């Protein structure tokens, strides 16, 4: 069985230095996770402000000396306090809905640094974005292009547009988070892009300002980005020959993080390669990036309490109070999340499946993990800062968890735990 020293050195991913053991207890920065759980209950999402700052600084340093706008892909984690931190860092925002735009504004973000992506923008969302003055609409189809033209013309506005081009590049990631293949729903096929730009140039109420591409998420190699970039550079040359001059190039997001044994791609490695290609072509375009997971994923954990230990002939189960409604990724993607005991024991370990209380066999958080645990123990589910709470729901009438942001020795409750009244708000009984 591993000793506590082994757990300290091996269990916590290198991407999470702000989560550490002190006197045989897991802390986030200077705050005890056990103390937070005792005061606020579980399940509980806990984020590190210092981890957010460090992740942001990696992009800022890599972009130094170049014209780069980093737009946080806020679908990864859209808590207002998290958005507020990124706004204070100077971040722009990548949004995919009108609700996300309202969150940016509420959190103090600058709409002029917002790029509006998404395949299904509705009229009211276009109107809201035009009135707010977003930096750019990333248009994903010709019908959307025509609708945006109609809406902008009716409002006597000019919509800045960038066409999201689908380059048919394999991002070598999970099929559910691959977005740059021709069979994906996203973007305009690279073969059709030139005609779409010609149309955009002629339609009233539109101003063509850029080209956009996003090929997927949890990418750990530079080659898919460069393959996509080569296709975009060829398109940019064709557009220039037709008198269509662009102001920015948006390469999307998708940089991966360490969940298990991955080796993440550092922002600097990607950007150095991109800057070189742009320089070789003599292009002076603003570069827009849309990182999400890589800014918040390893900044958070989900704290959960062991309710029961169930031993069967075939399996041992650690049944916890967090379920698939709290963290959907394992059920949806069969995703790996590390599991750390908050107060490790020196007892004999068993191999457990860590499962939740939801009435589904898909309700598991981790499989085949070696743990020394007892009922009432606390566990930290790692790498839960991205696509955790934002994907949470109320299945089995379970209230959503609270969220906390830790800043050194201080912590802030940034979302209260939901009550039963929150669950049924808006519902009505019949007379």
Q: Is 329 annotated as a binding residue?
A: yes
Dump strand ranges (E) for 131-257.
136-139, 159-166, 188-189, 206-212, 248-250
| 188-189 vs 159-166, strand pairing mode | parallel
In sequence order, which residues have a C-beta less than 8 Å from that of residue 416 and are 6 or more positions away? 402
In sequence order, which residues have a C-beta less than 8 Å from that of residue 53 and are 6 or more positions away? 85, 89
Q: Is 267 annotated as a binding residue?
A: no
Q: Give CA angle at 155 (154, 159), nearest 5°.
A: 100
Q: Is 313 annotated as a binding residue?
A: no
Structure-block tokens of residue 373 = 């645990």
Phi (first) and psi of residue 321, to 5 degrees: -90, 0
* Alpha-helical runs (H) found in 205-363: 223-241, 267-280, 293-296, 329-333
Structure-block tokens of residue 160 = 């800045």
Order of strands, sheet of 26-28, starting from the edge strand that comes earlier in the sequence:
19-21, 26-28, 31-32
Q: Is 254 annotated as a binding residue?
A: yes
Q: Is 160 annotated as a binding residue?
A: no
Q: Are 167 and 190 in contact (CB under 8 A)?
A: yes
> Catalytic residue positions?
359
- Please, what sign has the CA dihedral across residues 290, 412, 44, 55? positive
DSSP letter for each residue of 130-146: HHHT-SEEEE-SHHHHH
Q: Are 70 and 60 in contact (CB under 8 A)?
A: yes
Q: Is 308 annotated as a binding residue?
A: no
Q: Is 360 annotated as a binding residue?
A: yes
Q: Is 415 annotated as a binding residue?
A: no
Helices 193-202 and 223-241 pack at an angle, to 10 degrees, of: 50
Q: Is 112 annotated as a binding residue?
A: no
Binding-site residues for substrate, in ranges, read: 293, 329, 333, 360, 387
Binding-site residues, in ranges, read: 254, 290-293, 329, 333, 360, 387
Binding-site residues for pyridoxal 5'-phosphate, in ranges, read: 254, 290-293, 387
């Amino acid at each position: 069985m591993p000793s506590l020293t082994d757990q300290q050195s091996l269990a916590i991913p290198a991407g999470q230095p702000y989560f550490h053991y002190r006197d045989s207890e897991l802390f986030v920065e200077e705050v005890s996770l056990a103390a937070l759980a005792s005061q606020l209950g579980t399940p509980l999402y806990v984020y590190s402000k210092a981890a957010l700052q460090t992740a942001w600084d990696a992009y800022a340093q890599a972009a130094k000396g170049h014209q780069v706008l980093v737009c946080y892909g806020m679908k990864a984690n859209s808590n207002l306090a998290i958005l507020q931190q990124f706004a204070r860092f100077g971040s722009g925002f990548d949004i995919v809905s009108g609700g996300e735009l309202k969150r940016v504004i509420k959190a103090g973000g600058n709409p002029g640094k917002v790029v509006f992506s998404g395949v299904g923008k509705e009229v009211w969302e276009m109107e809201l974005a035009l009135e707010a003055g977003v930096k750019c609409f990333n248009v994903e189809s010709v019908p959307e292009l025509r609708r945006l033209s109609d809406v902008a013309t009716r409002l006597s506005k000019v919509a800045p547009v960038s066409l999201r081009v689908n380059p048919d590049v394999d991002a070598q990631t999970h099929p559910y988070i691959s977005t740059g293949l021709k069979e994906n729903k996203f973007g305009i096929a690279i073969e059709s892009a030139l005609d779409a730009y010609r149309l955009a140039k002629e339609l009233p109420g539109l101003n063509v300002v850029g080209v956009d591409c996003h090929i997927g998420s949890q990418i750990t190699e530079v080659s898919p980005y460069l393959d996509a970039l080569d296709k975009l550079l060829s398109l940019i040359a064709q557009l220039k020959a037709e008198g269509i001059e662009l102001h920015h190039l948006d390469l999307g997001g998708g940089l991966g993080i360490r969940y298990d044994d991955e080796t993440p791609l550092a922002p600097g490695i990607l950007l150095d390669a991109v800057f070189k290609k742009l320089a070789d072509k003599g292009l002076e375009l603003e570069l827009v990036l849309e990182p999400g997971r890589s800014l918040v994923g390893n900044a958070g954990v989900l704290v959960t309490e062991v309710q029961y230990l169930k031993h069967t002939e075939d399996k041992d189960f650690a049944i916890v109070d967090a379920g698939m409604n709290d963290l959907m990724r394992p059920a949806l993607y069969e995703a790996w999340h590390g599991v750390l005991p908050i107060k490790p024991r020196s007892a004999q370990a068993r191999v457990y499946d860590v499962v939740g209380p939801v009435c589904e066999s898909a309700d598991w958080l981790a499989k085949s993990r070696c743990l020394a645990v007892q009922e009432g123990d606390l566990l930290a589910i790692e790498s839960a800062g991205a696509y955790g709470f934002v994907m949470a729901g109320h299945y089995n009438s379970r209230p959503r968890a609270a969220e906390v942001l830790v800043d050194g020795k201080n912590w802030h409750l940034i979302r209260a735990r939901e009550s039963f009244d929150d669950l049924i708000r808006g519902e009505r009984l019949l007379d």
